[in-house]
Amino acid sequence: MIRRRFFSVTANACYPLPTTTKQDMKKYGVSEEFVNRNPRNLEMLGIAHKRRGWKFQAPRKDFYHELTLYREGQHTVAKLIHSSGKCIVSASTKESAISQQLPSTTDVNACYNIGRVIAHRCHQVGIDSMMFVPDGSGEAVKRFEEALLSSGIQLEEIDEEPYRDYEIGTDYDTASPS
């Protein structure tokens, strides 16, 4: 768990609140420490570790979120899958609200509209970058990618931050003047 002290943030600095005392915080029921309970926060910052797997493993596992597009019978389906294997967001022409607006549930326009719908749903849950490895290079896949990119979705995830082993601050005793 990440614990943070109660700070005030301005445009230029982050400093402890000068007027707030421990008695005031107890009086209003505010804790001194903030515990971040968002499990995706570290992923969005690029700090969480990605699963690596074997070098030539297929399918790949080095992602936080993977977008898949496939055809299931007479329907087009897109799913956003977390690295744990759980489906976060999905859109399909099986949904009556989508299929009623389309003349066909498997053509190029269906893929384009599924791309727009899943992009909107991804924005609603706060995910704007994901890994997408298309199975083919047909016109439907190109239109699906076009719909995602025009909606502001990035099809590449941010790189994982390397572990930094350093001490915070400057040692002025050993620093030489420049």
Q: Read off the pLDDT of residues 19-61 as tens digits, 9 standing for 90 and up.
A: 667 777 777 777 767 666 776 777 777 777 777 766 676 767 7
DSSP lists the bridge partners of residue 7 as 16
Average pLDDT over residues 113-137: 90
Residues of the chain above pLDDT 70, percent: 69
Looking at mean pLDDT, say which of 7-21, 51-65, 110-124 comes out highest: 110-124
Res 9: pLDDT = 42
DSSP 158: P
Rounded distance between C-alpha atoms, residue 174 and residue 22, angstroms = 37
- Mean pLDDT along residues 90-108: 93
**pTM value?**
0.66
Selection from 104, 66, 110, 108 nearest residue 92 by Cα: 110
Instruction: Check residue 53 and give its pLDDT.
Output: 67
The pLDDT-based confidence of 144 (bands split at 50, 70, 90) is very high
69-86, pLDDT tens digit by residue?
999 889 999 999 988 889
